[in-house]
Structure 1
Amino acid sequence: AACQTWLRARSSSEQSCRTERRSAVNKAVMIQIRHALRRAPLLTQTPLSPAFISTGPQQQDGTFYEFRTYCIHPHLNAAFLKLTSEKISLRTAHSELLGYWSVEYGGLNQVFHIWKYESYAQRAAVRAALARDPNWMEEYISKAMPMLSSQDNEVTYLVPWSTIKKPSKEGGVYELVSFQMKPGGPAVWGPTFQGAVGAHSAPGYAHPVGVFHSEFGLLNRVHVLWWYESADHRASIRHTAHSDPRVVAAVRQSVSYLESQKNKLLFPCAYSPLK
């Protein structure tokens, strides 16, 4: 009996020691954690670099391009183009027109135009000035608006690796190719898309006027504006390019990020800066 009593006492003592040791260890760990938290900088004190959290190359320039598409009542198409030709100077007096085209293929009775702005504030000021311009309102807007069945616009930026490159000569045709990309931005599809554009332009198959990424409108959309000497020249060039292994390989890599695409063949109007 005395032996059993001694064993029970010893077991109880050992258990008590183990409990005390665990308690001491836990206390020491908590003290270390508190010290570490005190030494750690707050997130508000050390904001992450924009480059670290970015989904792609950042738009450093405030310049943007407004794409506008007008659908014209079929029987008034010629009248609208004539009126615009006569009065476009009233509009270009307020801001820069990059190009104005009539859609030949990919959309009937449409015009497409691109306007350049240095900032949203500039665009707002231009729109306000136009609304106060009696000549613009009376000589153009009051006559042109009844000729239209719909209007649409989209705000775009040039992608960081693109600039506006005017064709070396006038008199050609333009193709606007619009790509609906998978969500994720340039960080996801940028390198392969740039490779596909370069595979077409580097060998001289086509002249890229500009590559644009949507900011307002349908998002994750990229537009490439190409120039060709003629519609037949485009057809011949595409046949040659699609037989080039470099183009085929680049396109195959890019299409993995593509959801859909469409295009329009554009004829520049006589008053278009891009001809």
Structure 2
Amino acid sequence: MSVLAKAPARLLNAAALNVHTARLPATSLSPSSLYLRRAAPLATRAFSSNKDRPDTSSPDTTQNTSSSSDSSSSSPGKPLGKVSGIVNSILHGSGSLPKVQMQSQESWGVSLARGKYVHELQRHRIRPERFDDYVQLLSEAFPRMVKESNNKMRLTGSWLTEIGELDTAGKFHIWEFEGYTGHAREMDRLRRDPAYQKFLKELRPMLLSRDNQICLEFAFWESRPPVALGGIYEMRTYLLKPGNLLEWETNWRRGLECRRQFCEPVGAWFSQLGKLNYVHHMWNYPDLETRKKTREQAWKVDGWAETVYNTVRLIENMEANILLPMDFSSLK
């Protein structure tokens, strides 16, 4: 009897083993027992299904239904229908991948993004002893950069960390450009600008590190224009598990309607260049007590608990920073 001809019997024995091991905790089983415990029910179901309902996928199988049990044992080289497929998959792995219809990452960007602007999120981690120098330098340089660009690059906002990584003062700076073309044009201009090069030369010794991301706005969440809102800002940052951006957006688009009954969002972005799979969204509150009450109220709205449940499992890491706008910030 061939190896494959014996396979159904071994799988039935594995199913019996699965009955005995079902009551044992997983930690007490060997890796091979755990594998059989998971694989046996699938294989035995397929075997039973094949036994009760013959495979009619080909003329040969249909013609030989009445003698399938005899021919399977006497003809080792003959296919065993669905059973051999399952057994072969368990022993050797599947020979082909299932055809799954998916949107490409590029098309996700098109469908999720507002499409009008590109935003650059900058993070500066400064040396604590250079805090005052840093604030003074940026207060002079950033407004000048906006003015000299003829408003082709706009400063959405600059914030200092109030609660979070305190040594990352000036943690968030958000710049807005007219698409990738506008970003490339302005970066080229700044590289040739002596005043900007002087600014970088003075800035670098003040920093421990800096990084940036090129982000797009979510289509359902347009960023606030320059306005003085007062109070505090909360920047929430999520690192998503790869491949979950579309599902996150679908759930958050619904959940936003629950939250905005109590406060208006400031903006939301997802990263396209730099560190990937990041989502950022920003809120404004008069104070921390109002923030607390607002978040509690959202739980009373139908749909919010479902949004949280559906999105938490998509997240690898998350953080929330309370920020205060710098004096020259467009959003205050």
* TM-score normalised according to structure 1 size: 0.72
Q: Does residue 237 of structure 2 align to residue 183 of structure 1?
A: no
C-alpha separation in 2, matches of 1:235 and 1:108: 21
1:61 CA drift (Å):
2.1
Mapped partners of 1:59, 1:274: distance in 2: 22
Max Rg structure: 1
Q: How does 1:11-160 map to 2 (within 5 A)?
A: 54-55=107-108, 57=111, 59=113, 61=115, 63-92=117-146, 93-94=148-149, 95-110=153-168, 111=170, 112-138=172-198, 140-160=199-219
Residue of structure 2 equivalent to 1:266 = 323
- Give the structure with the larger strand fraction: 1
Question: Using the alignment, how far apart are the partners of 2:297 and 2:255 within structure 1?
Answer: 15
Q: Distance in 1 between matches of 2:226 and 2:257?
A: 16
Report the alpha carbon displacement of residue 195 of structure 1 after superposing the two structures with TM. Answer: 2.2
Instruction: State the SS of the aligned residue for 1:190.
Output: helix
Post-superposition CA distance 1:42-98 (Å, at most 9, x none): xxxxxx9x89x9457254625210000001100011221022113322221222111
Q: Which amino acid aligns with 2:178?
A: E
Contact 1:90/1:135, CA 8 A, preserved across alignment: no
Q: 1:129 to 1:260 in 2, by over 3 A?
A: same
Q: 2: CA distance between counterparts of 1:178 and 1:157?
A: 14
Matches within 5 A, 1:216-255: 216-242=273-299, 244=301, 246-255=303-312
Give the distance between the partners of 1:159 and 1:133, measured in 2 at CA: 32
Equivalent-residue separation in structure 1 for 2:233 and 2:138 (angstroms): 20
Structure with the bigger RCO (C-alpha within 8 Å, sep 6+) is 1
Q: Which amino acid aligns with 1:87?
A: A
Unmatched tracts of structure 2, length 5 or more: 1-100
Q: In structure 1, give the amino acid aligned to 2:327.
A: A
Asked whether 1:165 is paired with 2:235, we answer: no
Aligned pairs, how many?
Answer: 223
**Per the alignment, do residues 134 and 55 of structure 1 end up closer, same or farther by CA in structure 2, a change over 3 Å counting?**
closer
Query: Identity rate of aligned residues, in percent?
Result: 28
Q: Which moved more, 1:91-100 or 1:254-263?
A: 254-263
Inter-partner Cα distance in structure 2 for 1:54 and 1:150:
33
The alignment partner of 1:183 has SS state of coil
Letter in 1 for 2:155: L
**Per the alignment, do residues 169 and 121 of structure 1 end up closer, same or farther by CA in structure 2, a change over 3 Å counting?**
closer
Letter in 1 for 2:130: L
